[in-house]
A and B are shown apart, each in its own frame.
Chain A
Amino acid sequence: KAGVTQTPRYLIKTRGQQVTLSCSPISGHRSVSWYQQTPGQGLQFLFEYFSETQRNKGNFPGRFSGRQFSNSRSEMNVSTLELGDSALYLCASSLVSNYQGGGETQYFGPGTRLLVL
């Protein structure tokens, strides 16, 4: 079974631009979560989608948004990029949503490394 895939793997943008990252979950997984990882803040939860609905959200500004399609693929968008948005963005999939009871094992993709200049 193929793992979680993320595209693109690397991205360079300038301040003020917007960016869209894509994530394809493991086949059969319906939940997709997004995380931001930086050296200073570590791993931070962005949001989780299940059945095309956002189920859970972390403490990030509205510039960070996402969506999930009927095939469970997900995209996240960051508008008006700031230097501080430079990070590794990780996508994780699980069979069902943690919203439904917690404890689901999440399987991660290789991440997208975003550099904002």
Chain B
Amino acid sequence: AQKVTQAQTEISVVEKEDVTLDCVYETRDTTYYLFWYKQPPSGELVFLIRRNSFDEQNEISGRYSWNFQKSTSSFNFTITASQVVDSAVYFCALSEAKGSNYQLIWGAGTKLIIKP
């Protein structure tokens, strides 16, 4: 079973629209970490946010906001007033224990297209 599900393969919106990228995760750990990364066409993964399982506060950073809900195992990402530069593939990832190690488990990514 997938541990990190990004059900939206591709989303296309017109500039200035708000858009939400969904991320649903599965883990039995009580301590875990969630991440969002952005991958523009250049290929480099850009870190956006890290959240630990004990901090359910929503976070806002400029036009970006994240909604973490343990009850639904979701960590959704919203871009407000989208811009063309937001076009990229966005990945959600889960860091959980695997034995004594931790590994990042990645979602399949959501390709976001912002049309001018």
User: Which residues of A line the B interface, CB within 8 A?
Assistant: 42-43, 45, 55-56, 58, 88, 90, 92, 98-99, 101-111, 113
Contacts and interface: CB of A to CB of B under 8 A. Distances in A.
Contact of B35 (A42, A58, A105, A110): A105
Interface residues of B, number: 25
Contacts of B102: 56, 98-99, 101-103
Contact of A99 (B52, B96, B101, B109): B101
Contacts of A109: 44
B42 A110 contact: yes
A45 B100 contact: no
A35 to B, nearest CB: 8
Interface string B84-116: 000000010001110011111010110000000
Contacts, number: 58
A-B pairs, top 9 by smallest CB distance, nearest first, are A102-B102, A103-B33, A108-B45, A98-B102, A43-B106, A110-B44, A111-B43, A56-B101, A105-B50
B58 interface: no
Contacts of A55: 101
Contacts of B14: none
Nearest to A88: B43
A98 B31 CA distance: 13
Contact of B45 (A42, A90, A113): A90
B31 A102 contact: yes
B103 A113 contact: no
B6 to A, nearest CB: 10
Contact of A111 (B37, B44, B47, B101): B44
B60 interface: no
B42 A108 contact: no
Nearest to B44: A110
Contacts of B101: 55-56, 98-99
A45 B47 CA distance: 17
Given A102-B102, A103-B32, 14 more contacts: A42-B109, A58-B103, A98-B95, A98-B102, A98-B104, A99-B102, A102-B33, A103-B33, A104-B95, A105-B35, A107-B47, A108-B45, A109-B44, A110-B42
